[in-house]
Chain A
Amino acid sequence: MVSSVANARTRLLAGSRGRLLNASLFILIAVAVIILATKVAALGPAYFIQILVYGFANGSIFALIALGYTMVYGIVELINFAHGDVFTLGGFISLWLLPIFGITEGGTVSGAGLILPLLAILAISMVACAVVNVAIERVAYRPLRHAPRLTPLITAVGMSFVLEGVMFLWRGPFNLHYPNVLPTAGIEIGGANGPAIGFKDLAVTAIAVVLMVALALFVERTKLGKAMRATAQDRDAAELMGIDINRTIAATFFIGALLAGAGGMIFGLYYNTITFDQGFTAGLVAFTAAVFGGIGNIQGAALGGLVIGMIQSLSDGYFDTAWTQVLIFAILVLVLVFRPTGILGMRVPEK
C-alpha cells in the first residue's frame, strides 16, 4: 500500500517533470524558429528557396545512409558503425571506376553516352559495397550474435577503423577531387538572379527517391522483405516459421549497403570532393536522422534524413557553418534523451 502510494507519487513527479521538459523543449524550438524566420525575412525569398533546394539534395543523401542504419538496427539491434565507411567506400570505388569507363572532367561525352556509363558505375559501386558489408557481417558480427552486447559494438567500431585504414592506404589522407561530370545547367526560377534548381540537385534527388521507392516496394511486396519484417519483429518466431535467419540478416546488410554505396557516389558527384574519413561524420549525421525518424522505421529514416538535411542547410545558410555540426549532434543527444523512439518511432522494449 505504502509502496503503491510512493509509486504513484514518483509517477506524478515524473509526469510533471516530463511536462516541464516538453514545455521547455517546445519553447526552445519556437525561439529557434522565430530567429530563423526573422533571418529568412531579412535575406529574401530567393535565397530561402535556394537553401531549400540544397537542403533537399543534402537530405536525400543522408536519407540513403540512414536507411542502412535503421534496417540493420531494426533486425539485429546493432549500430553498424562501419556503415558510414561503407558509404565512403562507394565514393572511392566509383572515383576509381570513372576513368576506366572513360569519364573525365571536361570530357566530350554527353547524353546517353554519359548517363549509361554513370549508371553502370553506380551499379558496380553499389554491389561492391554490398558485398563488403555482407563480408563484414559474416566476419565481425555473426560469430558474436550471442555474445554480450558490448562485444559486437566494439567490433563494429573496429571494422569502421579497418575500412578507413584501407581507404587511407589506398588514396591517402587528403581531400580527393571528384570529377565534376554532371551538366551544370539548371532551371532558373524568376529570372537570372532568382534561385536555380541545378541538374545536379534534380539528379541527386531523383536517384535517391527511385532507390527509396524500390526499397519500400521490396520490403512491402517481396517474400524476402516479409522475412525481414518478421525477423525484425521476433527472430525466434520467424525461425520457427522456417525463415533462414542468417540469409535474411545477410540480405539486410546487403540492401543497406547498396543504398549507402549509391549515396557515396552521389555525394562525390554532388560535392566534388571526398575524404577517407568523411564517413565518420556523415555516418553520425545519418544516424541522427535514423534516430530522429525512429530507429527501425524505414519511412522514418527517409523523413529524418530530409529533415536533418534541411536543418543542416538552413544552419549553413543563415547561421554559422562552424556551428552546424554542433547543432546536429546536439539534436542527436536531445532526441535520444527526450524521445528515444523518434518522431515516428515504435516503442522498442527495454531488454
Chain B
Amino acid sequence: MTMFRTIRKVWGTDPRVDPNPLAYTILTVGAILYPIWAEISTGGQGDFLISVLADAGVYILLAMGLNVVVGFAGLLDLGYAAFFAIGAYTYAFLASDHLVVTPLHEAVHLPFWIVLFVGLFVAAAFGVILGAPTLRLRGDYLAIVTLGFGEIVPRVFKNLSDWTSGVNGISALDKPVLPIWLNGPWSGDPLEFVRNFKIISPMAFYVVMVLLLGLCVVLVNNLRVSRIGRAWMAVREDEVAANAMGVNTTRIKLLAFAIGAAFSGFAGSFYGAKLSLVSPENFGFTVSITILVMIVLGGMGNIPGVIIGSLLIYGITFLFLPALPPLAEEWATNIGLGGLVPPNEDWPGIGQEVQRLKFLVFGVILVLTMLLRPQGLIPSRVRQQELKKGVHEDQTIEDVNAETTA
C-alpha cells in the first residue's frame, strides 16, 4: 500500500486507477534493457532473442491497427490478415527480382522506405474498397464479410501462380537500406559513418521496429483523444445516437477501417522485408484470430494493454507452446509416467499432444476473458466504466423492472 502511495505521489496518478503511465514506463525501459540483457545473458550471442522480439513487433503493429477497428470503433474485423497479406505481397512485388518471372518480365526495386508507405496505401485502398459498401451493414454481417474477404485474399494469391508463384511464395526480397548509419564497436566495426547501410542484423531491425512502434503509439494515442477518436467511441456505443449528434457514421467507420488496414499493410511490408519471404500460408484465419486474441486479452481500446497482450500471446504461441513438448516429456518421465512419452497407435506421444494445445488455449482465452474480464488485463478507463454501468443495446422487461423498482 505504501508503495502505491509513493508511486502516486511521484506519478500524479494511482496505478490501480490508471495503470497506463506505469505500463508505458515498464514497456519503454523493457525495450531499452532487453537487447542488453539478451547480449549479456547469452555472452554476445543474443541475435536470436533480439530477432524474436523484432518479429513480435510486427504483431504489435498489427494489434494496434486492429485495436483501432475493433477497440475504438467497435467493428469486428475477422479478416484482418488479408490486409497483412496485401502489404507483404506489395513489398514482394515492388522490392525483389520476382516480377521478372511474371508476365511483366521486368524487376522493380523500390527502396524499403517508399514501399513501406506504398504497402500502407494499397492496403488502405483495399480497406476502403471492402469497407465502403459493407460498413452500412449490421455489425455481425460486417464480421462475416471480412471473414469472407480474409479467406478470399490468400486463396487468390495462391491461385494466381503466374504472378505469385502460388504456394511456393516469393523469396529473396530486398533488405531495407539506410542512407546513412553509424557503425561502431557494438557491431564489431570501427567507429565510422557508412553510406547505404543494409539492415540485416537483428539488432538493426529491432531498433527500427522500436522506433516505428513508438511513433505509432504516439499517433494512435493522438487519434484516440482527437475529435475522430471520440466519434469512433460514440459510434461504438450507440450508432443511432452518434448519428443524431451529427457524426457522419459511415465516413467515420470507413476511416477506422482504412486506418486499421493501413497499419496491417505497413506491418505486412515490414514483415516481408524482415523475413525476406512471403507465402500464402502465412496469412490464414489463424493469424487474424491470433491478433484478435491479443487485443481482447490485453484490453480492447487501450494501447498499453494491447501491446502487453500481444507480447503475452506472441510468447505463448511462438515460444512457450513450441518449447512445451520436451518440457512435458521430461516432466512425465520424472513423475513416473514415462509410458506417455513414446507414441503408439492411438496416442501421438505426450510431446505431440501438448503441441496441439494452441487452438484450445486461444479458444479458452477468448471465452474466459469475455466472460470474466471483458475489459481485458489492462483496461481502458472509459471502456471499464461503460462495461461496469452496462451499455445495453436493448433492455428486457427484467431490466426495466429492476430499474423502476430499485
Contact = CB atoms under 8 A, between A and B. Distances in A.
Interface of A: 77-79, 139-140, 143-144, 146-155, 157-166, 168-169, 172-173, 235-236, 239-240, 280-281, 284, 287-288, 291, 320, 322-323, 325-326, 329-330, 332-333, 336-338, 340, 348, 350-351
A280 B285 contact: yes
Contact of B292 (A154, A166, A320, A337): A154
Given A333-B130, A340-B141, 19 more contacts: A144-B371, A146-B396, A148-B74, A150-B76, A153-B139, A155-B366, A155-B367, A161-B366, A168-B356, A169-B360, A172-B352, A236-B396, A239-B397, A326-B152, A329-B148, A330-B152, A333-B149, A336-B134, A340-B138
B22 interface: no
Instruction: State the main secondary structure of chain B at its contact with A.
Output: helix
Interface stretch (B57-65, B193-201, B212-220, B386-394): B386-394
16 contacts: A77-B140, A79-B144, A146-B392, A150-B139, A157-B366, A159-B367, A165-B358, A173-B356, A280-B285, A288-B148, A329-B148, A336-B144, A337-B134, A337-B145, A340-B141, A350-B138
A275 to B, nearest CB: 13
A79 B140 contact: yes
B74 A150 contact: yes
A329 B152 contact: yes
Given A79-B140, A165-B357, A322-B158, A158 B393 contact: no
Given A165-B363, A322-B159, A78 B140 contact: yes
A318 B193 CA distance: 62
Contact of A157 (B78, B138, B156, B358): B78
Interface of B: 70, 74, 76, 78, 130, 133-134, 137-141, 143-145, 147-149, 151-152, 155-156, 158-159, 285, 289, 292, 296, 348, 352-353, 356-367, 370-371, 374, 387, 390-397, 399
B144 A287 contact: yes
B390 A153 contact: no
Name, among A143, A157, A329, the residue most crowded by chain B CB atoms within 10 Å (CB to CB).
A157
Contacts of A79: 140, 143-144
B290 to A, nearest CB: 11
A143 B367 CA distance: 11
Instruction: State the main secondary structure of chain A at its contact with B.
Output: helix
B359 A164 contact: yes
Contacts of B78: 157
Contacts of A351: 138, 393-394
B296 to A, nearest CB: 6
B143 to A, nearest CB: 6
Contacts, number: 152
A301 to B, nearest CB: 15
A148 B390 CA distance: 8
Contacts of B156: 326
Contacts of B363: 158-165
A240 B365 contact: no
Given A164-B359, A169-B356, A330-B152, A143 B371 contact: yes
B3 to A, nearest CB: 34
Contacts of A77: 140
Name, among A147, A152, A164, A348, the residue most crowded by chain B CB atoms within 10 Å (CB to CB).
A147
Nearest to B399: A146
A204 to B, nearest CB: 26
Contacts of A152: 370
Contacts of B392: 146
A153 B357 CA distance: 22
Contacts of A326: 152, 155-156, 159
B148 A333 contact: yes
Given A78-B140, A148-B391, A158 B365 contact: yes
B70 A150 contact: yes
Nearest to B383: A148
Given A149-B393, A235-B396, A162 B367 contact: yes
